[in-house]
Structure 1
Amino acid sequence: MATALTPQSAERYAPRVAATPVLTIAAHGVTDVGQRRDHNEDAFLVDPALGLYVVADGMGGHAGGGTASRLAVETIQESIRAARDGAPEVFEGANGVEDSRLPDLLRDAVEAACARIFKTAQDAPELAGMGTTVTAALIDGRVAFVAHVGDSRCYLLREGRIYQVSEDHSLVNEQLKAGTISADEAKHSRFKNIITRSVGFEAQVQVDLMGLELEDGDGLVICCDGLSNLVDDDEILQIVDECPIDASPARLVELANDRGGDDNITVIVIRAGREPILAG
């Protein structure tokens, strides 16, 4: 049984492989405290049995950030598992993006996490104000659904190109869309860590949902801003394309640390293929 992971320093786990009717999915995740933080407030999940992959980047004083991210990952996993056990036919990969009920289940899971985190903070004053980003992918057959809140990211890698699937819920992104700052100014803005939406800060949250039809050779990368603030999209693409599935997350973390590692760093790399995907 997969578990939520919240290590204090880099931990590497053997890639886990799950067969689907059409594609084989391999995934590997790493988290690292970084170079400037004394504890890790990120959490991530790789659960091939559920086809569920989650990154959460917590925030809040004292132990709040770590508590929020852990609760988010645990609650989403519990919710999806309960939904599968109650209606296994929904998870049989027979439905496409338009017809699947999985997006509703994934949104419900994130909303349940939001309510749980908020209530926990209400019951424990020392955790007041805690919250977390959530970027979660649920893969069924050759379809992937992504739920997103905050500024962690999901990328699609396809045929030598990289696409950001999620949209950052951040002040800087709002400024970019309004045209008040340039892309270069955004990269160096002192406001780049301010997010406009989080899980658990309030009792309810609006969840973005995206659906993808996966193709042979596709990759997904889910990461927190501790990676994306320091490693460019094209560099993510190059490393994931060149490195084995069990080595690329650690190499991305290493590169972010080489550039200062000013935040916790968490990344999951997922590959889809018709043939088994082997580690290096």
Structure 2
Amino acid sequence: MIDSTAFLTDVGKVRSHNEDNGGIFVSPVGTLVVVADGMGGHSAGDIASKIATEVLESEWNKMSPPLKAIDAETFLLDSFKRANEAIITYAQQHPECEGMGTTAIAAVCTEEYTAIAHVGDSRAYVYNGIKISQQTEDHSLVAELVRSGQITEEEAEHHPRKNVVLRALGTDPDVSIDVFILQSDLINVLIICSDGLSNKLKASEVQAEIERGVKLSEVAESLIAQANDRGGEDNITIALVRFNEEISESL
């Protein structure tokens, strides 16, 4: 049972405008969570992330119950591909937006399962009531260097090319999309965020905030405030979904 949700995005302390987008969209089918981190500078990044969010929401509104896990995977893959095509088409029609793109992560949350798809370095974490664990692998240069053993995780923290993303919507007609299924009864809180948050806070710090026992909206506000306190160089976006009533939202 989905108990509560929260979504919050912030421009940060340095950027002049917010290129992040997303939202939480509830329907009879379930709950769709989207976080998109645009790139391309000027107004292009926020256009790309807005297109991705709007395509996902539009496709979601067409779905009707019941939706099996395999159907949710298909929905996510198809919607990501449509969003990718829409961003590429827009850029072709608007030369000033050439080269724009966006990371994208989306989750279809139901009582039985949670389907997650992602492209880029926005992340999904799961808190199971005991510990938090990262569920996605970053599609970034430094993550690939860490996986191949060329640099350590500590070196990745301050790598000069930390912001280089290897996959994004809008940059390649044949984008590769990761998609997987989790059991919802093993999730206490699902956390989805842009790298503006994950670059500033450790997973253990996110867990500590969740375990304070406050409303999810307060958790989101506190985490974004902490990211801003540590520099806030990037836009910051977080979405939270609590799957049970273990921690009361009446607190």
**Fold equivalence (TM over 0.5):** yes
Q: CA deviation at 1:248?
A: 0.4
Q: Which residue of 2 aligns with 1:45?
A: 23
Shift of 1:205: 1.1
* Contact in 1 for aligned 2:110/2:184 (Cα 8 Å): no
Residue of structure 1 in register with 2:43 after alignment: 63
Query: Deviation at 1:159?
Result: 2.6
Q: Is the Cα–Cα contact under 8 Å of residues 115 and 204 in structure 1 kept in the other structure?
A: no
Partner of 2:177: 207
Aligned partners of 1:181, 1:221: CA distance in 2, in Å? 27
Mapped contact 2:2–2:110 kept (Cα < 8 A): no
CA contact (8 A) 2:126 2:187 kept: no
Q: Distance in 2 between matches of 1:279 and 1:128?
A: 48
Q: Report the residue type matching 1:55 in the other structure.
A: V
Residue 64 of structure 1 aligns with an amino acid whose one-letter code is A
1:275 deviates by: 7.4
User: TM-score with structure 1 length normalisation?
Assistant: 0.85
Higher relative contact order (CA 8 A, sep 6+): 2
Once the two structures are superposed, residues 127-171 of structure 1 have per-residue CA deviations (whole angstroms, 9 ceiling, x without a partner) of 000000001010122210001000000001113211111110000
Contact 2:206–2:223 (Cα < 8 Å) also in 1: yes
Gaps of 5+ in 1: 1-22
| The one of 215, 220, 223 aligned to 2:193 | 223
Equivalent residue letter for 1:27: T
Counting matched residue pairs gives: 248
Q: 1:183 aligns with which of 125, 128, 153?
A: 153
TM-score, normalised to structure 2's length?
A: 0.94
Give the aligned partner of residue 108 of structure 1: 78
Q: Given the superposition, is the C-alpha separation of residues 155 and 197 from structure 1 closer, same or farther in structure 2, using an over 3 Å criterion?
A: same
> Is contact 2:111-2:185 (8 Å) kept?
no
Equivalent position of 1:264 in the other structure? 235
Once residues 75 and 107 of structure 1 are traced to their aligned partners in structure 2, the CA distance between those partners, rounded to angstroms, is 12
Structure 1 stretches of 4+ moved >4 Å: 274-277
User: Could you list the per-position Cα deviations for residues 206-252 of structure 1 after superposition, in whole angstroms to 9, with x for gaps in the alignment?
Assistant: 11001010127611000000000000010011102213212001100
Q: Structure 2 vs 1, CA of residues 275 and 176 (structure 1 numbering), >3 Å: closer, same or farther?
A: closer
| Contact 1:149–1:198, Cα closer than 8 Å, also in 2 | yes
Instruction: Work out the CA distance in 1 between the residues paired with 2:26 and 2:88.
Output: 28
Supply the distance in 1 between the matched residues of 2:85 and 2:186 (Cα, whole angstroms): 37
- Conserved 8 A contact 1:90-1:101: no
RMSD of the TM alignment (CA)?
A: 1.6
Sequence identity of aligned pairs in percent? 36
The amino acid across from 1:26 in the alignment is: S
Question: Does residue 247 in structure 1 map to residue 223 in structure 2?
Answer: no
- In the TM superposition, residue 35 of structure 1 has moved relative to its aligned partner by 0.5
Q: Which amino acid aligns with 2:190?
A: L
Q: 1:61 to 1:119 in 2, by over 3 A?
A: same
